[in-house]
Amino acid sequence: MRMVFRWFGDNNDHVSLDQIKQIPGAEGIVWALHDMPAGEEWPMDKINQVKEQAEAYGLNIDVVESVNVHEDIKLGLPTRDRYIENYKRTIEKLSKVGVKVICYNFMPVFDWLRTDLAKKLEDGSTALFYEGSKIHDIDPLDLVKTIAEDSTRTMPGWEPERLADLTELFEAYKNVTTEDLWSNLSYFLEEIIPVAEQHDIKMAIHPDDPPWPIFGLPRIMINKENIERFLKLVDNPYNGLTLCSGSLGSNRENDVADMVRSFSDRIHFAHIRNVRIYDNGDFIETSHRTQDGSVDIYDIVKAYHESEFTGYARPDHGRHIWGEECRPGYGLYDRALGIMYLWGIWDTLERQKKEK
C-alpha cells in the first residue's frame, strides 16, 4: 500500500507541502489542475510546475484526482469527440511527468453531494452530513442557491458561477436514461483506455457519492453488480477503479471489504474513510476508526492486505477538528489521524504475517 495525500494546490489549500511531508509514510500528493475547466487539454508548463513544487519536498505526483470528464461526453453529444481528444492529450502529457494513476468520475452534473457541510458531532467536531429528506422535495437549483450563499463552503460542481449552466444541464439530461449513460461511458472507455495503456497510466473511476440517483439524474457506479459490469465494458487492467469505502459504504447493502476481495487486481487507488449510517438512511462522516462509523475499516484494510495491495491509498474526508478552518472534509488533522489508523492496522497485519 502506497500512502498519498490529497493537495489542492498553493492557492486552494490551507495545508502545505511541508506539513504533508511530515505525515508518516506519506510519499506523494494527489493533485490536479483545479482551475482547468472540464474538457480542456492541460498545459505542460502548469503540469511541470506541480512536479517541481512536489519534488522540492521529496513528494511524488503519481496520482491525479481528477481529470474531469466534460458533460458532453456523459450526455453522448456529437461534440464529445473533441473533448475526448483533449482528454487523450492530457493523458499523454501526464505520462511525461511519470503519473501512474488518473482518478475520474462519471456522475452527471454533480460530484459528491451533502446537505450540511458542517454538522456537529457529539464530540464537538463537525463533519459532512447527508439528510435524504432535504433532497427529495427540493429543486436542485434552490439547493445550489442556498449552498452558494455560504461562499466559504462549496462542493465540487456546486460553485455559484455554475448556476446559469445548471438549468441548461438539467434540461439536457432529461432524456438521458441509465442505459444511455452506460453506453456513453462505454464509448469514452473504448477511446481512452488504449491511450492510457500505451502511456502506462491506469484509469481509476471513482464511484458515485452517494451511491444512488439524485434529483432524477442517473448514477451507475453504485454497487458490486454495476462495478462488475463496468470492468467488463473494457476488460483491461488499465480500466480500473478508485474504490472509495465512504461513497459505496453509505449504502448499507454494499459490502466494501467483499468488493476489495473481488476486484483487487483492478483497484489502482483506494479511498479509505468511514461514515455512520442512521436508521433512516441519512449518514454523517466520522473518524476513520471502525467503531465510530458503520463501515468496517479494519476488514477493508485486511482485505487489501490479504490481496497484497501495492496500489495507492489515501485517507479521505475527515471531521473538522481542533478548530481547524479548512475545505469541507479536507482538514489536515483528521486525515492525518486517519493515515495513522490505516498504518496501525496495516503494519500489525504485516508483522503478524512475517512472524507466522
The catalytic residue positions are: 206, 244, 271, 316-317, 330
CB of 355 to ligand DNO, least distance (A): 36
Site residues for ligand DNO, 228-247, by CB under 6 A, read: 244
- Interaction of residue 312 with ligand DNO, rule CB under 6 A: no
Output the smallest distance, CB 43 to ligand DNO, in A: 20
Query: What is the nearest approach in angstroms of ligand DNO to the Cβ of residue 253?
Result: 21
**Does residue 334 belong to the site contacting ligand DNO (CB under 6 A)?**
no
- Of all residues in the shown chain, the one whose CB is closest to ligand DNO is 66
- Under rule CB under 6 A, how many of the chain's residues touch ligand DNO? 13
d(CA 157, CA 110): 5
Closer Cβ to ligand DNO, 32 or 75, answer by number: 32
Q: Is 66 in the site for ligand DNO (CB under 6 A)?
A: yes
Among 9, 76, 156, 213, binds ligand DNO (CB under 6 A): 156
Task: State the helix-helix crossing angle for 256-263 and 297-306, rounded to 10 degrees.
Answer: 10
Give CA angle at 110 (284, 44), nearest 5°. 115
Q: Please, which of residues 98-137 interact with ligand DNO by CB under 6 A?
A: 103-105, 111-112
Contacts 24+ apart (CB under 8 A), 223-231: 223/248, 223/251, 223/253, 223/254, 224/254, 224/255, 224/258, 224/259, 224/262, 227/259, 227/263, 228/262, 229/182, 230/185, 230/205, 231/263, 231/266
In angstroms, rounded to a whole number, what is the distance separating the alpha carbons of residues 341 and 347? 10
Instruction: Decide: is 65 part of the binding site for ligand DNO (CB under 6 A).
Output: yes
SS3 call for 237: coil
Q: Please choose, out of 83-91, 97-105, 213-221, 277-285, the segment that lies near ligand DNO by the rule CB under 6 A.
A: 97-105
Q: Which residues pair with 285 in a beta bridge?
A: 275
166: left (phi over 0), alpha (psi -120 to 50) or beta: alpha
| Residue 87 interacting with ligand DNO (CB under 6 A) | no
Q: Which amino acid is at 68?
A: N
Binding site for ligand DNO (CB under 6 A): 65-66, 103-105, 111-112, 156, 206, 244, 271, 317, 329
